[in-house]
Amino acid sequence: MRIAGYSANAVTRTSGLERAEALTAPAGVSASVALQLSATGQLMLQARQALRALPEMREQPIRDLGARLSSGRYHPDPQAIAAAMIAE
């Protein structure tokens, strides 16, 4: 099977847009490639882009906890931790 001058093996081995863009078109074949995603694929792409746009979750509380651990000021209550684990 051939797709616009590419063998099926070359197409199936290509994963990710970066690798697809790196391909060069054979002589006489247009280098432009069109990609049409299904509705599910479009939703997945939108979700991925939205997640990348979000800041790291709980960034400041985690930094604060790291500082408390490093300075020896963090003393968790094992009883409270166990009770919270059981409550969930």
Structure confidence by residue, pLDDT tens digits, 47-66: 999 988 887 777 888 899 99
Report how far Cα 54 is from the mean position of its chain's Cα atoms: 12
Q: Is the pTM of this model over 0.95?
A: no
- CB neighbourhood size of 77 (10 A): 9
Length of the chain: 88
pLDDT tens-place string over residues 23-39: 566 677 666 666 787 88
C-alpha span between 88 and 85 (Å, rounded): 6
